[in-house]
Amino acid sequence: MSERPTDFVESPSLDRDCTTLSRHILQQLQSYEGSAQDISAIMNRIALAGKLIARRLSRAGLVEGALGFTGEENVQGESVKRMDLYANDVFISVFKQSGLVCRLASEEMEKPYYIPENCPVGRYTLLYDPIDGSSNVDINLTVGAIFSLRQQEGDDLDHTAQDLLQNGRKQIAAGYILFGVSTMLVYSIGNGVHSFTLDPSLGEFILAEENIQIPQHGAIYSVNEGNFWQWDESIREYIRYMHRHDGYTARYSGALVGDLHRILMQGGVFLYPGTTKKPEGKLRLLYETAPLAWLVEQAGGKASTGTTPLLDVVPTYLHQRTPAIIGSVEDVELVESFIREGNRQE
């Protein structure tokens, strides 16, 4: 009888390199049901969108027409960047012939993009913010993309997308892609939060960390203090409390995905409260705050509007904004206590 070959040496780093996103998703789903296969295929398509956007971003300074504004405004009344449009189209292109999702809803489009040929099979809706933090694009700083998956309810034949106006607990999957020093994809399908780093030489997202748990408390508070005089007095009091107490430090990049990623890894709180000009704040519920709230709660954190759990908010229209306080349980609760109790002097 021949002996087992002895020249195979166990290599943890090789094993790790083989833990790709697609393999991880299949392990997570542990099922061969149709719906599991669909979610796995959808996540792989999102990963492809991430790779296409990462490629464009990394060459943006070298090609004509990649940077700068288009000269148009989106439905949010914000100036549109060329990269916003490119990334928006990337998600449409990767899902158009996939048979997987019936609608795509993005902060860059007034109405969802319907793919009727997919609807008999792919009864999902992908909601996304194609480029988050787009003011960072032209200066070569970190940006992100945010995604969220919901089951379509009803036929939506009149294209009003009323079934999307439900709370954040209806999400099936959510996550973000961080275009930073390296490209990372962080996702949850309701069973923990997992991060992956893009290895450009392989073109694969490789597992970085499984079952991420956000610390219960962290030193960082992340907020645009330029809005100080536009906030409610309770938020100003909270910030004064941060200034007066040891053990806190501020970080703010102008890209929610980047700021939130730091908080997910190191603890702390991100907040974008209402202002006098924008009482609901700036961030959009369906494309930004609900997906990140869901993800952070999956990692053991907390998300609030200040008065209500963020995931309980039911929007009345697609592009609705919400104040957002997201992060470590203790730090979110500290902000909430200021909002509840008004001016807390300590």
Binding site for ligand AHG (CB under 6 A): 78, 129, 132-134, 224, 254-256, 282
**Can you tell me the distance from the alpha carbon of 344 to that of 346, in angstroms, rounded to the nearest whole number?**
6
DSSP reduced 3-state for 65? coil
**Member of 38, 129, 237, 259 binding Mn ion (CB under 5 A):** 129
Which among 3-11, 13-21, 65-73, 121-129 is the span making contact with Mn ion, rule CB under 5 A? 121-129
CB distance 310 to 290 below 8 Å: yes
Structure tokens at 172: 């099936």
CB of 295 vs Mn ion, minimal distance in Å: 15
Q: Binding marks (x or -) toward Mn ion, 63..82, rule CB under 5 A?
A: --------------------
Residue with smaller CB distance to Mn ion, 132 or 259: 132
CB distance 26 to 38 below 8 Å: no
**Can you tell me the distance from the alpha carbon of 281 to that of 129, in angstroms, rounded to the nearest whole number?**
16
User: Residue with CB nearest Mn ion?
Assistant: 132
CB of 288 vs Mn ion, minimal distance in Å: 5
Which among 98-106, 128-136, 187-195, 267-275 is the span making contact with Mn ion, rule CB under 5 A? 128-136
The helix-helix angle for 34-58 and 21-29 (nearest 10°) equals 160
Say whether residue 259 binds Mn ion (CB under 5 A).
no
**Member of 38, 132, 237, 331 binding Mn ion (CB under 5 A):** 132
**Position of tokens 């899902």?**
95
CB of 282 vs ligand AHG, minimal distance in Å: 5
Closest CA to 316 of 280, 291, 292, 282: 280
CB of 7 vs ligand AHG, minimal distance in Å: 51
Q: From the list ligand AHG, Mn ion, none, which binds 57 (C-beta under 5 to 8 Å, kind-based)?
A: none
Residue with smaller CB distance to ligand AHG, 138 or 210: 138
Closest CA to 293 of 334, 336, 264, 331: 264
Closest CA to 144 of 264, 280, 23: 264
CB of 126 vs Mn ion, minimal distance in Å: 15
Residue with smaller CB distance to Mn ion, 131 or 313: 131
Q: From the list ligand AHG, Mn ion, none, which binds 254 (C-beta under 5 to 8 Å, kind-based)?
A: ligand AHG
Q: From the list ligand AHG, Mn ion, none, which binds 282 (C-beta under 5 to 8 Å, kind-based)?
A: ligand AHG
Q: Which long-range contacts (CB under 8 A, 24 or more apart) does 331-337 make?
A: 331/217, 331/218, 331/221, 331/267, 331/268, 331/269, 332/269, 332/301, 332/302, 332/303, 332/304, 333/302, 334/238, 334/269, 335/235, 335/238, 335/269, 335/271, 335/304, 335/306, 336/304, 336/306, 336/307
**Can you tell me the distance from the alpha carbon of 112 to that of 126, in angstroms, rounded to the nearest whole number?**
9
Residue with smaller CB distance to Mn ion, 78 or 333: 78
Which among 56-64, 97-105, 124-132, 217-225 is the span making contact with Mn ion, rule CB under 5 A? 124-132
Structure tokens at 37: 């296969």
CB of 128 vs ligand AHG, minimal distance in Å: 10
CB of 266 vs ligand AHG, minimal distance in Å: 17
Residue with smaller CB distance to ligand AHG, 29 or 186: 186
Which among 25-33, 127-135, 162-170, 314-322 is the span making contact with Mn ion, rule CB under 5 A? 127-135
**Can you tell me the distance from the alpha carbon of 236 to that of 238, in angstroms, rounded to the nearest whole number?**
5
**Can you tell me the distance from the alpha carbon of 325 to that of 307, in angstroms, rounded to the nearest whole number?**
10
Query: 289 exposed, middle or buried (CB, 10 Å; 0-12, 13-18, 19+)?
Result: buried
CB of 141 vs ligand AHG, minimal distance in Å: 11
Q: From the list Mn ion, ligand AHG, none, which binds 325 (C-beta under 5 to 8 Å, kind-based)?
A: none
CB of 144 vs ligand AHG, minimal distance in Å: 7
Binding region for Mn ion (CB under 5 A): 129, 131-132
